[in-house]
Amino acid sequence: MPCEGCMEGDNKSTDATMEFLLLGFSELLCLRVLLFLIFLIVHLITLAGNVMIFMAVVMEPSRPPMLFFLCQLSVIELCYTLVIVPKALLSLIVVNGSTISFIGCAAQMHLFVALGGAECFLLVAMSYDRYVAICQPLHYVAVMSEGFCLRLAVACCLGGFTVALGLTVAVFRLPFCQSHRINHFFCDVPAVLHLACTQSYTPELPLLAACVLLLLLPFLLILTSYVCIVAALLHVTSSVGRGKALSTCVSHLAITLLHYGCATFTYIRPKSSYSPARDKMVSLVYTNITPLLYPLIYSLRNKEIRGVLRKMLRRKKITQLN
């Protein structure tokens, strides 16, 4: 049932909401300066960490598949934060919120969902890499060839961008009410859906379909990979060998739990349970804190990336000495 003050059609709705107002953290005016400084520092550290991992992997002549996927993950995280954080910082500078055009809001939502979806699929590819390395070590080089890894990487990006395009088109075809104030610091799907002029559950169906494709199916595939890994490790008699194999999975598991935990909490729930204050706090975690933790987790837990970073630092020292 349409709500009061709803625009009559899709075209009128679009004309009436050519600009959205992102309220950001308008309720925390007294903390604006502090939040701005914290966000800026976290953003710069995140960019530096991901750029460092990207450069280290690119400069490594012999890249195993896991490092190739890590390089792609770093690029995704770089783009992910650049799509969201600058606008969030602007919303802290402007007291009454920052405006974003209808097209700009749709583009931001599409890129955000596309990059997040590509990351979901990439985590599946990384879990498959671990499965082949542990369960089929003799066939690892043949299976995880450079060409196959490249095709997996392209498929991850295409899958994420395709699902995101369908979701974005479905959301922005909805009739919006006269209010165009988004109580968020970016055009997140639940926040924009909250402005839709309908009381039925129909607008939530595209989001539900996207959640199945980007969250549920990839998670089940990752779970299947780890069930096979655990089953294979049960047959390993050496505790040292078992521990070494598990240690290669710890960083991937940590990132998977962070990514899917935040995404599931935010998107797999009905529109009626939408809470702007709570959603903004959760969004802060997965758009600022989680991308910051990724380089730390991999640099601390992954021997391959630690080795590559050490090589890069040694090369830098030698260059400075010369």
Per residue, the 3-state secondary structure of 278-319, as one string, reads HHHHHHHHHHHHHHHHHHHHHHHHCHHHHHHHHHHHHHHHHH
Mean pLDDT of the chain: 83
Q: What is the pLDDT of residue 121?
A: 96
CB atoms within 10 A of CB 208: 14
For residues 73 and 54, give the distance between their C-alpha atoms in angstroms, rounded to a whole number. 9
Pinpoint the alpha helices (H) of the chain: 10-16, 32-58, 65-93, 102-135, 140-143, 146-172, 189-193, 204-211, 217-233, 239-267, 276-284, 290-301, 303-321
Q: How far apart are CA 15 and CA 12, in angstroms?
A: 5
- Residue by residue, pLDDT tens for the chain (322 residues) are 444 445 444 444 444 446 888 888 777 777 778 888 988 999 999 998 888 888 878 877 777 888 889 889 999 999 989 999 988 888 788 777 788 899 999 999 999 999 999 999 999 999 999 999 999 989 999 999 989 999 999 999 999 999 999 999 999 988 887 678 888 889 999 889 888 877 666 767 888 899 999 999 999 999 999 999 999 888 877 777 777 777 778 888 888 888 888 888 888 877 667 778 788 888 888 888 888 888 777 766 666 676 766 776 676 666 666 6
Cβ 173 vs Cβ 11: under 8 Å: no
Q: For 110-169, write each residue's pLDDT tens digit.
A: 999 999 999 999 999 999 999 999 999 899 999 999 899 999 999 999 999 999 999 999
pLDDT of residue 15: 47
Percent of the chain at pLDDT exceeding 90: 32
pLDDT of residue 267: 85
What's the pLDDT score for residue 114? Answer: 96
Report the CATH number of the 17-317 domain: 1.20.1070.10
The domains of the chain are located at 17-317
pTM score: 0.86
Question: Tens digits of per-residue pLDDT, 83-117?
Answer: 999 888 887 887 777 888 999 999 999 999 999 99
pLDDT at 201: 66
